[in-house]
Every structure is written in C-alpha cells, then in structure tokens.
C-alpha cells in the first residue's frame, strides 16, 4: 500500500516537472500587450535597419492583430518586401499573390504587381549564367517570363502608376535579355553541329522578340545553319532578309564576333 502511494507520488512529481519544463520552453511573446501601431513601428524599424529575419515575424503578428484593417494590408506588403530582401523569394511571391487575391480592390495592387515583377526580374539576371560554361539548353526562363507578365499587367491596368515607367524599362530589358538568351542557345547548337536545333531556336527568337538587337545574329545563324544543311534557297532567303534589315551588318563581313575566343566569352 505504501509502495503504491510512493509510486503515485513519484508519477505526480514527474508530471509536474514535465509541465514546468513545457512552460519554461514555451517562447515568450514580447509583443503581448503591444498595440498594433507599436508592432508596426517595431517591425518597420527592423526592416529599415536590414534585420529582415526579425521584421518578417513582427509583420506576421501584426497581420493577425490588426486583421481587416488597412494596417494589416500594409503589413502584408512590408512582409513580402522583407521576405524578398531576406532571400525568401518564393515566400515573398506567395505573400503577394495572397494579398492580391484577398484585396483585389486595394489601391496598392500596382505596388504588389511591381514588387512581384522585381522579385522575378532579379531571378532573371540568372539568364547571364551563359557567361559560364553551363549548357545553355538546360536554362529555364520561367522567372524572366513571369517578371514580364507582372510588369505587363501593371502597365496595362495602371498606366498612370508611379511604378509604370520603371516597369516599362524593365520589360524592354527583359525582352532583349530573353531574345539574347535564345540566340546564344542557337549559337551554342550551331557551334556543336546541331544545325536543325540552331535553326529552331533562331526562328523562335525572331518570332517571339521582334526588333530585339539580338535578332541580327539570329538571322546570321539561319544563314549559316541552312548552308550547312545544304538548304541553299533558305540560306539565300535568310541572307536577303539580313541584308535588308541590317544593311551594315558585320556578321556577313566577319562572321561571328570574336570567333577566336571561347564561344561563351563575350569580351
């Protein structure tokens, strides 16, 4: 009987100790009792000082505390920006998509579209990994195209937005970069003797990216590739189009620029 009482007492002590340990390990919410305005001020201060990892959870807390208010909407946008700056690009885009889904009439939709475009635009700079020896055919241009789509929607829906001029400039850059990428892939195939693939990529660039500077080289790749394939008529046709559109083209006179350098080196 006494042994049973001791066992019960021991079990109770163990349970109490476990409960105390659980309470001790529970994180303390330093924002308990703070007003929404104070939370926002603290979060904004962390953001302004580059402490993005600290700003994100504060903005998340504010979203819940100030739900249904303009302050909660602002917290979402600031959280997305903080996530972007902290390197959490996928999370930032998810936050922006949620914001636009929940608040389609918000006056900040133009900013949300712009920020989403900028996030993908920065990823797009990975286009220029063709300066390395990476196989260009393995590159994915999804981010670049998504950046263009966000900027394009912004420009069409909000032509007077303060973000529209910069969005237009980034769209031009994106189009030129995508065209240049396609042409470099076409050249990659040509220099490896894959002339059919070179023709396909060069034609794709000409079709999708009219007036981009890189199309001069795309036409020259068609001239050379058709010639290698023994398609004389098509080669002559491509050469005629090249001469008409680029009468002073150096490609016809000197061939690929810098042929004495590795194919991937631009300077």
**pLDDT tens by residue, 191-235:** 999 999 999 999 999 999 988 999 999 999 999 999 999 999 999
pTM for the whole thing?
A: 0.73
| Domain-located, residue 11 | no
Per-residue pLDDT, 29:
75
Q: Say if residues 75 and 98 touch (Cβ distance below 8 Å).
A: no
Lowest mean pLDDT among 90-94, 228-232, 248-252: 248-252
119-124 average pLDDT score: 79
| Domain-located, residue 116 | no
- For residue 227 the two structure tokens come to 């010639």
Residue by residue, DSSP assigns 35-50 as -HHHHHHHHHHHHHTT
| Domain-located, residue 139 | no
| Domain-located, residue 188 | no
SS3 category, 264: coil
| Domain-located, residue 53 | yes
Q: Say if residues 70 and 82 touch (Cβ distance below 8 Å).
A: no
Q: Say if residues 129 and 139 touch (Cβ distance below 8 Å).
A: yes
Per-residue pLDDT, 245:
93
Per-residue pLDDT, 7:
57
Report d(CA 187, CA 88) in Å as an integer: 35
Contacts of 150 (CB under 8 A, 6+ apart): 113, 114, 116, 117, 120
- Burial class of residue 179 (count of CB atoms within 10 Å of its CB; 0-12, 13-18, 19+): buried
Per-residue pLDDT, 18:
55
Lowest mean pLDDT among 50-59, 73-82, 126-135: 126-135
Report angle CA 161, 175, 96 to the nearest 5 degrees.
45
* Higher per-residue pLDDT: 118 or 20: 118
Tens of pLDDT, residue by residue over 137-192, are 444 578 888 999 999 999 999 999 999 999 999 999 988 888 988 999 999 999 99
Q: How many distinct structural domains can be found in the chain?
A: 1
Per-residue pLDDT, 235:
95
| Domain-located, residue 84 | yes
Which range of residues forms the domain containing residue 62?
33-88
| Domain-located, residue 63 | yes
| Domain-located, residue 64 | yes
Report d(CA 202, CA 184) in Å as an integer: 9
Burial 20-50 (b: 16+ CB within 10 A, else e): eeeeeeeeeeebeebebeebbebbbebbeee
Per-residue pLDDT, 152:
96
**pLDDT confidence bin for 37, thresholds 50/70/90:** very high
Contacts of 240 (CB under 8 A, 6+ apart): none
**pLDDT confidence bin for 252, thresholds 50/70/90:** confident
- For residue 73 the two structure tokens come to 């909407």
């Amino acid at each position: 009987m006494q042994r049973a009482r001791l066992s019960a007492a021991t079990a109770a002590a163990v349970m109490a100790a476990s409960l105390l340990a659980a309470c001790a390990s529970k994180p303390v919410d330093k924002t308990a009792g703070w007003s929404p305005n104070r939370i926002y001020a603290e979060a904004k201060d962390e953001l302004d000082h580059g402490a993005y990892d600290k700003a994100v959870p504060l903005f998340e807390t504010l979203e819940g505390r100030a739900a249904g208010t303009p302050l909660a909407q602002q917290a979402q946008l600031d959280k997305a920006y903080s996530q972007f700056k902290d390197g959490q690009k996928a999370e930032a885009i998810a936050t922006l998509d949620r914001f636009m889904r929940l608040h389609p009439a918000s006056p900040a939709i133009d900013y949300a579209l712009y920020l989403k475009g900028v996030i993908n635009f920065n990823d797009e700079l990975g286009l220029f990994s063709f300066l390395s020896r990476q196989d260009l055919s393995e590159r994915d241009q999804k981010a670049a195209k998504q950046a263009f789509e966000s900027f394009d929607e912004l420009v069409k829906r909000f032509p007077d937005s303060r973000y529209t001029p910069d969005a237009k400039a980034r769209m031009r850059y994106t189009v030129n970069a995508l065209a240049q990428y396609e042409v470099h892939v076409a050249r990659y195939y040509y220099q490896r003797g894959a002339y059919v693939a070179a023709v396909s990529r060069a034609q794709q660039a000409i079709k999708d990216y009219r007036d981009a500077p890189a199309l001069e080289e795309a036409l020259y790749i068609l001239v050379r590739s058709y010639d290698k394939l023994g398609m004389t008529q098509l080669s002559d046709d491509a050469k005629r189009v090249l001469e008409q559109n680029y009468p002073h083209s150096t490609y016809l006179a000197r061939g690929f620029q810098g042929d004495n350098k590795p194919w991937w080196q631009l300077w």
